[in-house]
Amino acid sequence: MAAIHIRHVPEATLSALRERAARHGRSMQQELLDILELAAAEPVPVQAPPL
């Protein structure tokens, strides 16, 4: 499985993600993977071609 490294994440964002993971009873890594999987599964709206 591939790895992702994200730089320059604000401390407030990290703190919120840690709290979210704790609320869901899972690790930060699992929480982030879940967020990414949900985002990737969202349908992409089809845009009409320009006139």
- pLDDT, residue 49, reads 78
What is the per-residue burial (b if ≥16 Cβ within 10 Å, else e) of 27-43? eeeebbeeeeeeeeeee
Give the model confidence (pLDDT) of 4-24 as tens digits: 999 999 999 999 999 999 999
Gap between the Cα atoms of 25 and 21, Å rounded: 6
Predicted TM-score of the model (pTM): 0.77
Closest C-alpha to 4, from 27, 26, 36, 31: 36
Average pLDDT over the chain reads: 93
List helix spans (H) across the chain: 11-24, 28-41
